[in-house]
Amino acid sequence: MEYTLRNSNGMVISVLSLGGIIQRLTAPDRDGNYQDVVLGLDSEHDYLDGHPYFGALIGRFGNRIAGGRFSLDGSDYVLGCNDGDNHLHGGHRGFDKVSWHIEHDTGGQALRLRYVSAEGEEGYPGELSVTVNYTLSDDDELRIDCEATTTRPTPVNLTSHPYFNLGGHGNGSILNHELQLFAQRYTPIGEDLVPTGEIDPVAGTPLDFLSPTAIGKRIDSDYQQIRNAGGYDHNFVLDKVDGELALAARVTEPVSGRILEVLTTEPGLQFYSGNGLPEIRGKSGATYQPHSGFCLETQHFPDSPNRPIFPTTIVRPGDVYQSTTIYRFFTINSG
């Protein structure tokens, strides 16, 4: 089922009960023209045939867990491996594939989504009760608030996975978009895209987006980290206090003048430049292919259950997992 949010400016967001998917998100360009700036498919039925996580809610654990295994409080757990030998985005049937119960507020600018993940789902311990609120403000901000509680200790790392193209969802490559990341460090990856456990500076590497830089400027670099991912698919360690809502990223599309800012309480952000996007028929007959969209997934670090030096993702009974992310839209002239 599809639910629609509208603000007083004319911004429209469509959300599906399947996967909590953000199917459509319109934003104005510098001339006030609205376009849909997220990649997606035409109908809920189309998503059932599989897709690269277009716009979906991700859980229980966003990103990868090496070998689909972790140990917690003396017990070993085996998860579904759906990315080679690794567990990715919650496994074979993550939160992107389940049906969420949705409540629409009377004002038409907020949704509340609920899902209860059963004990043992995809191998995770404990029953996890999840609530996600989508709120569209009259300041052209989409706010995503997540909460979760559990009956047993379990890893939790929720995120949202929209693919953005600020020129319009069917408007070719995102390589001209200028990206700024407020992160002086990142977590290097191996050839399997799983973190090595190190935390390195971005300075002097093609992963340095401390100043606004075109996504495509260094994407063909021979740098080993770029070769490993076929572009960008890396977790950046944000320059902020964990739990503080702060600016993590800014992206500008110079032709339309659209600007996207991402704010989050999370300690990390996964920048994915759409390297692995298959050629696929998208909304309204558009054709998507590699680099047709980019993702900025706010998160705790990948493989955290196996990396004690990373911020913990373990939630215990009595704890309340909380996370907030804001996608803020404006234009060069209005900024």
| C-beta atoms surrounding 49 within 10 Å | 7
Distance CA(181)–CA(300), nearest Å, equals: 16
d(CA 199, CA 162): 26
DSSP state of 196: -
Q: Is 234 considered catalytic here? A: no
Q: Catalytic residue, from 161, 177, 234, 300: name it.
A: 161
Amino acid 122 reads: E
CA distances (Å), origin 243, targets 194, 265, 311, 324: 24, 5, 11, 9
**Tokens encoding 45:** 């039925």
Instruction: Using CA atoms of 251, 253, 257, 260 in order, give the dihedral in degrees to the nearest 10.
Output: -30
How would DSSP label each residue in 62-119?
A: -SEEGGGEEEETTEEEE----BTTBEETTSTT-GGGSBPEEEE-TTSSEEEEEEEEPT
161 tagged catalytic? yes
Q: Which of 122, 234, 297, 300 is catalytic?
A: 297
Q: Is 306 helix (H, G, I), strand (E, B) or coil?
A: helix
The catalytic residue positions are 161, 297
